[in-house]
Amino acid sequence: MGSAYAAQMKAALIAGGVGPDRVVELAHDLPAHGIEEAAFLLREMARAFPPNTVHVAVVDPGVGGRRLPIAIETRAGPILVGPDNGVLFPLAIELGLRRAYRIDSPKLGRPPRVGTTFDGRDVFAPAAALLAHGRRASTLGPATSPKSYTIPDPVPVPDGARGEVVHTDRFGNLITNIPTRWVDRGVRRLELSSGRAQHRRMAFVTSYESLGRGTLGALGSSFGLVEVAVGEGRASDRLRARVGSRVVLTWRRRSATRTAKAKSARPRKRR
């Protein structure tokens, strides 16, 4: 969200009795038009917050849109508020989806706003303030079945896995959906196939520091997922990869196979 939009939401929270001492801002700089990456990040960012948390998500394509605003109660405790476009779903599954309710603006007890609404400011923030004060989600509107969205699953292949990039962080590191624990303990090298990088071999290391400057490599990210990085560089640029790019990783326990490269002999021109 741009700054003016976030500020207006904070004002709406304060108007609802939720001051800055109770607000944690997770992120404003999510990619502008991607529900997939936002859903992944929201789950990763929000999973560790305490049971009495109300999470509010606004993902861009819906600003001013006509998707229904919803509130989702979870078994773990947190309540999720946002547009019913799937962005809340992976976090809801993670925390245990209990019930979802549509949020009807008139139930928020505020004078309706004339003209185009900004759901974050006019619906989500006021609803979140009420929920933070103990109001039940069921009082905000009728029960509903939320739109589902599932972060794509990786697929095991012989000596490897097929998956995709689910997040590029601000350093250009590519976080895949392939769990680090899928990679056998003994693996030290693996082979990557993604976009431009056809069967590129790389080291599987345990820290960024182990990657020489400019060297491509893979490591276990802090998300518990395999990440492709370049030492002090941007893997996303190097591989021209981004969220959704297909990734195939293959490895062998002892040593990776040498890829045979048949160099076509070019006959020299005679003079």
Residue range at the interface with a second copy (CB under 8 A); choices 25-33, 130-138, 193-201, 262-270? 25-33
Q: What angle do CA 220, 89, 29 make, to 5 degrees?
A: 65
Residue range at the interface with a second copy (CB under 8 A); choices 14-22, 72-80, 128-136, 263-271? 14-22
In whole angstroms, how close is the CB of 138 to a second copy at the nearest point? 27
Binding of residue 111 to a second copy (CB under 8 A): no
What are the φ and ψ backbone dihedral angles of 203, each rounded to 5 degrees?
Answer: -75, 150
Q: Which of residues 144-163 bind a second copy (CB under 8 A)?
A: none
Binding of residue 94 to a second copy (CB under 8 A): no
**Which of 57, 229, 241, 216 has the alpha carbon at shortest distance from 149?**
57
Identify the residue among 144, 151, 169, 193 touching a second copy (CB under 8 A).
169
Given a contact cutoff of 8 angstroms between Cβ atoms, the answer to whether 73 and 79 are in contact is yes
In whole angstroms, how close is the CB of 150 to a second copy at the nearest point? 19
Exposed/middle/buried for 233, CB within 10 Å: 0-12, 13-18, 19+? middle
Instruction: Give the residue with the Cβ less far from a second copy, 150 or 171.
Output: 171
Considering CB under 8 A, how many residues would be counted as binding a second copy? 64
Binding of residue 115 to a second copy (CB under 8 A): yes
Given a contact cutoff of 8 angstroms between Cβ atoms, the answer to whether 224 and 180 are in contact is yes
Which residues in 80-93 are b (16+ Cβ under 10 Å) and which e? bbbbbbbbbbbbbe
DSSP run (H or E) holding 102: strand 97-102
Binding of residue 36 to a second copy (CB under 8 A): no
Binding of residue 67 to a second copy (CB under 8 A): yes
Distances (CA, A) of 31 to 4, 35, 73, 130, 144: 17, 9, 26, 29, 28
Q: Which of residues 210-269 bind a second copy (CB under 8 A)?
A: 219-224, 232
Q: Which residues bind a second copy (CB under 8 A)?
A: 2-8, 10-12, 14-15, 19-24, 26-30, 32-33, 41, 44-50, 60-67, 114-118, 121, 167, 169-171, 180-181, 206-209, 219-224, 232
